[in-house]
Amino acid sequence: MFDLKGRVAIVTGGNGGIGLGMAKGLAVAGASVVVAARNSDKSRAAVDAINQVGAGRARAIEVDVADEASVNGLIDETVKSCGRLDVLVNNAGINIRKPPDQLTLAEWREVLDTNLTSAYLCSHAAYPAMKKAGGGKIINIGSMMSIFGASFTPAYAASKGGIVQFTRSCACAWAKDHIQVNAVLPGWIDTELTVRARQQVEGLHENVLRRTPAARWGVPDDFRGIAVFLASPASDFVTGTAIPVDGGYSIQG
Ligand code: NDP
């Protein structure tokens, strides 16, 4: 039910943080993983780490997820070199932490392009290959900011709210093709992204510990299981959902 042998998965932003955690889970379950990100040194190191836990079939393809031609190249190269595409994890993301009155249009666009338009570009490009193969799985990474707002994160929250609605729309459109589209909403996870957040947002570390029922930050390996579930036949009747992986952060009253 959770077997991914013979499946090919792309993980955008798979060279670190949550993406690397998900990539490792998929590899352990048997998938061939394509790490898709910009920094090729980091991607090479990630491929080695994935191959240590998986069957040794991971590879890296350089991509800028905000660029249409680059994304189309990623999908073409994956299908040509691996022969198929079964799973797409739209995980790449950035944040620029400023209140709305200080955020420039260029910064707004950079965040929206990287976090939201990228998911459209990758899914749009992946759809024909998945349809031809008779099905597929798309996993979009949202955030607690898909649910909540914060004064310092207008573009990021808009992009992550958009991810949930985009997920639902794709799920409705592509269910007939046996393509399931779901979102994962991480709580506060210890990665490069949040190292910067802890420097920029006063009291964040203590607030996360106080507010999270599990009383800890998440780690990338917390995402191995949800990646396997949403990529495998175990989730064939699950589509359009947004599943928090947050140690209970979003249900604490
Ligand atoms: P990291 O900063 O560790 O990883 C971000 C990844 O995105 C990197 O692999 C980076 O690779 C890639 N990336 C960024 N921009 C681009 C681009 N233009 N093209 C291709 N790849 C790109 O962050 P996290 O692991 O924390 O974040 C992963 C996802 O999880 C993001 O969508 C984030 O919003 C989300 N998330 C994280 C939370 C957390 O607490 N950490 C909480 C909620 C959501 P490279 O620089 O090599 O391109």
- Could you report the per-residue pLDDT of 91-114, keeping only the tens digit for each? 999 999 999 999 999 999 999 999
Q: Which residues are catalytic?
A: 156
- Could you report the per-residue pLDDT of 228-244, keeping only the tens digit for each? 999 999 999 999 999 99
> What pLDDT does 55 receive?
84
41 exposure class (CB count in 10 Å sphere: 0-12, 13-18, 19+)? exposed
Residue type, 146: S
Q: Do residues 217 and 188 touch, judged by C-beta distance below 8 A? A: yes
Ligand 1 mean position, distance from CA 92 (Å): 4
Q: Do residues 189 and 17 touch, judged by C-beta distance below 8 A? A: yes
What proportion of the chain, given as a percentage, has pLDDT over 90?
96
Whether pLDDT at 20 is above 90 = yes
The residue whose CA has the least distance to atom 41 of ligand 1 is 189
* Confidence bin at 224 (pLDDT 50/70/90): very high
In this structure, what are the phi and psi dihedrals at residue 183, rounded to the nearest 5 degrees? -115, 150
Measured distance CA(14)–CA(5) in Å, rounded: 19
- Could you report the per-residue pLDDT of 22-77, keeping only the tens digit for each? 999 999 999 999 999 999 999 999 999 999 999 889 999 999 999 999 999 999 99
How far does CA 145 lie from the centroid of its chain? 14
The residue whose CA has the least distance to atom 43 of ligand 1 is 143
Measured distance CA(39)–CA(44) in Å, rounded: 9
The residue whose CA has the least distance to atom 19 of ligand 1 is 64
Q: Is the CB of 15 under 6 A from ligand 1?
A: yes
Enter the DSSP assignment of 106: H
Q: Do residues 163 and 154 touch, judged by C-beta distance below 8 A? A: no
To the question of domain 8-243 being in CATH 3.40.50.720, the answer is: yes
Measured distance CA(51)–CA(45) in Å, rounded: 10
> What pLDDT does 200 receive?
87
Q: Is the CB of 91 under 6 A from ligand 1?
A: yes
Measured CA to CA in angstroms, residue 202 lies from 72, 152, 222 at distances of 40, 12, 25
Helix intervals (H) in the chain: 17-28, 40-53, 68-82, 105-112, 118-133, 154-174, 192-200, 204-211, 224-231
Mean pLDDT of 170-198: 97
Ligand 1 mean position, distance from CA 186 (Å): 12
Average pLDDT, the chain: 97
Contact partners, residue 19, CB within 8 Å, separation at least 6: 11, 12, 13, 35, 37, 89, 91, 92
Residue found by looking up tokens 């780490």 in the block: 49
Mean pLDDT of 169-194: 98
